[in-house]
A and B are shown apart, each in its own frame.
Chain A
Amino acid sequence: LHRNNLGFSRPKIQSDDAPLATRLKKALEASPPPRYHNTVHHASIDVSYVAGLARLQLSEAETATFQKQLQEILGYVDQLREVDVSSVPDHPIDPNLPTNALRLDEIRPSLPHTEALQNAPKQANQLLSVPKIVE
């Protein structure tokens, strides 16, 4: 058992888990995740489509301005294609960042209900109010 710094333990993967792990590994190898490294050249951005993904309504004038400016910025950041990154692993893990810090799942003091809701633009019955979502 590993013991973390909060004093409770988590089980190590037991040897009888191995068949599952092996099955997973095989399944992943059989269908590798899609890779896009060499599929995007001379990238172009469709600002109105991306604004939709970002839940932002843009005016026609904004769309036209951003289209031009973002195309230029993307042209600039395209220089990263020229950098040799072969010495860096595929999904680099930042060594300066902590791993998950676990704590006991205990009830602790938190923001009172009324204060948590004090900034809500619309509320009803001590709940956040939104337009009807389901018919």
Chain B
Amino acid sequence: MNPATLTISALREKYTSGELQPVQVVEALLDRIAEKDGALGGYLDIQRESALAQARQARLDLPLGGVPIAIKDNINVRGEPCTCASQILAPFVSPYDATVIRRLREAGAILLGRTNMDEFAMGSSTENSSVKPTRNPWDPSRIPGGSSGGSAAVVAADLAIAALGSDTGGSIRQPAALCSCVGLKPTYGRVSRYGLVAFASSLDQIGPLTKTVRDSALLLNAIAGHDPMENTSRPVPVEDYTAGLDRPVRGLRIGVPKEYFVGGLDPEIETSVRRALDWFKSQGAEPIEVSLPHTSSAIAVYYIIATAEASANLARFDGVRYGRRTPEPTDILDLYRRSRAEGFGPEVKRRIILGTYVLSSGYYDAYYNRAQKVRQLIRRDFLNAFQSCDLLLTPTSPTPAFRAGEKTSDPLQMYLADIFTIAVNLAEVCAISIPCGFTASKLPIGLQLIGPHFGEARLLQAAHQYEQAHTWWKERPSL
């Protein structure tokens, strides 16, 4: 048994029994990364000495004591690079820890390394990384999803025990679905974003990518909670998210939004997701058809609000305070224009321009304000649906992993890949993607469960019950 293949809970049991020591686990992971990650491209940076030092000092009495975690490259870890896979941050070294990192350290976790992503989390395939692409561990000719593609790929390929990602429109759930791991987007306000490089501040959330639902609950236990440094984190009490996992799903009311089972959905995915619904029925859960009438507007709303917020958030990259600066600028405007031109990749530039446009004088009401209004209608759709059901069940992605290069020249096609995940961020509710099968050509399929605001406990319970009654989560790619 290679310790790299263990889940958090299995690892913790082996620590308790004395069967394993943290240094052995970190060494096993480092060896496997050295052997496999050259082809996979999941990591941008490995802090070898630091990880071993943390392993030697690990406190096994803490909830995540000795558990190595990989971190998406847009979360600040003091003393380590934080580049968002962008050239504009290539020279950057974090002077402080994000709140989630401080909490992971306090829970005893070992920070292993930093994972690849679409530049500034803008993308659905990790092809927008300015450093390198990440491959799908199930088929290296295909993308791992994005933007947390590195985090999903290293968890699925057993190059990490678990990872953190961020989700603005599906960036945790979609790569989890495409790589066959568990990805949780918590409710907006559940996890502090202090120290997460901001993309779209009204949508961004940090969450775990793990091998099992129980591991997801364990990580959420560590990172959730109010943070005085982050005004949008909410003072809602943090439950023990593992406490109710073993409760059966009998009586659970599962809403099936009719708008999510229409044209464009891959037939193999539809079959797997409907089978998952049949399983819930067989366990005494009650399926209810619901309607989310504004589903078809979600992508348009997202690409106005997210780009508007991104254009404002990314204004800070100006070549003055940190990051890349063009050599020999002629004046201050030239300094801004050329530093940004040289530092940002095409997708980031495209979104900054779109966001600047929809906020500009004369267009603000037509685009931004209208999108905000439609966002409220989308939010109402979810609140209405949760009047009659406890959870929603949908596919995570309309297709399995697509081929590298297939959508890079057509940004709109790339955006449409997020159809089932985006509305969740707009409505600020929580959702999880779990493995629910494979296509005939052995590509993973993800099931999305969506819960109401701060409904993580029941969401995790239903996901855990489904997962443990099936064996999808145990299957591993051959690398």
A interface residue numbers (CB < 8 A to B): 35-37, 39-40, 43, 45, 47, 50-51, 53-58, 62, 65-66, 69-70, 72-74, 76-77, 79-81, 83, 85, 87-88, 90-92, 94, 96-98, 100-101, 111, 115-116, 118-122, 128, 130-133
Q: Flag if A37 contacts B365 (CB, 8 Å).
A: yes
Q: Provide the residues of chain B in CB contact with A98, threshold 8 Å.
A: 231-232, 234
Q: Provide the residues of chain B in CB contact with A69, threshold 8 Å.
A: 350, 411-412
**9 other A-B residue contacts (CB within 8 Å) besides A66-B353, A83-B297, A96-B189:** A37-B365, A56-B337, A56-B340, A56-B344, A79-B300, A80-B367, A85-B377, A131-B329, A131-B334
Q: Which of B294, B311, B366 contacts A83 (CB 8 A)?
A: B294
Q: Which of A36, A45, A100 contacts B357 (CB 8 A)?
A: A45
Contact with A along B331-347 (1 / 0, CB 8 A): 11111111011001010
Contact with A along B348-362 (1 / 0, CB 8 A): 011011101100101
Which bracket fits the contact residues of B? 35 or more
B371, chain A: closest CB distance, angstroms: 6
Q: Is chain B's binding surface mostly helix, strand, loop or mixed?
A: helix
Q: Provide the residues of chain B in CB contact with A56, threshold 8 Å.
A: 337, 340-341, 344, 349, 352-353
Q: Flag if B353 contacts A101 (CB, 8 Å).
A: no
Whole-angstrom distance between the alpha carbons of A111 and B97 in the complex?
Answer: 11
Q: Closest A-chain residue to B356, C-beta based?
A: A54
B225, chain A: closest CB distance, angstroms: 15
Q: Provide the residues of chain A in CB contact with B369, threshold 8 Å.
A: 90-91
Q: Which of B303, B330, B331 contacts A77 (CB 8 A)?
A: B303
What 8 pairs between A and B have smallest CB-CB spacing? A119-B322, A121-B325, A57-B337, A85-B373, A57-B341, A55-B336, A77-B300, A88-B373
Q: Provide the residues of chain A in CB contact with B349, threshold 8 Å.
A: 51, 56, 58, 62, 66
User: Could you name 11 residue pairs across A and B whose Cβ atoms are closer than 8 Å?
Assistant: A54-B356, A57-B337, A57-B338, A76-B303, A88-B376, A92-B376, A96-B453, A118-B95, A119-B93, A131-B334, A133-B331
Q: Flag if A77 contacts B304 (CB, 8 Å).
A: yes
Q: Flag if A54 contacts B338 (CB, 8 Å).
A: no
Task: Check A119/B294 contact, CB under 8 A, given A96-B188, A98-B231, A133-B332.
Answer: no
Q: Flag if B374 contacts A54 (CB, 8 Å).
A: no
Whole-angstrom distance between the alpha carbons of A35 and B341 in the complex?
Answer: 34
Whole-angstrom distance between the alpha carbons of A61 and B323 in the complex?
Answer: 25
Q: Flag if B362 contacts A36 (CB, 8 Å).
A: yes
Q: Provide the residues of chain A in CB contact with B24, threshold 8 Å.
A: none
Q: Closest A-chain residue to B344, C-beta based?
A: A56
Whole-angstrom distance between the alpha carbons of A98 and B319 in the complex?
Answer: 33
Q: Provide the residues of chain B in CB contact with A39, threshold 8 Å.
A: 362, 366
Interface hits, B418-463 → A, CB 8 Å: 428, 453
Q: Flag if A121 contacts B337 (CB, 8 Å).
A: no
Q: Flag if B300 contacts A70 (CB, 8 Å).
A: no
Q: Flag if A50 contacts B365 (CB, 8 Å).
A: no
Whole-angstrom distance between the alpha carbons of A56 and B357 in the complex?
Answer: 13
Looking at A81, A85, A96, the one whose CB has the most chain B CB atoms below 10 A away is: A96
Q: Closest A-chain residue to B329, C-beta based?
A: A131
B420, chain A: closest CB distance, angstroms: 18
Q: Flag if B325 contacts A122 (CB, 8 Å).
A: yes
Whole-angstrom distance between the alpha carbons of A79 and B372 in the complex?
Answer: 14
B320 interface residue, CB < 8 Å from A? yes
B301 interface residue, CB < 8 Å from A? yes
Q: Flag if B370 contacts A81 (CB, 8 Å).
A: yes
Q: Flag if A76 contacts B300 (CB, 8 Å).
A: yes
B92, chain A: closest CB distance, angstroms: 5
Task: Check A94/B323 contact, CB under 8 A, given A57-B337, A83-B297, A119-B92.
Answer: no
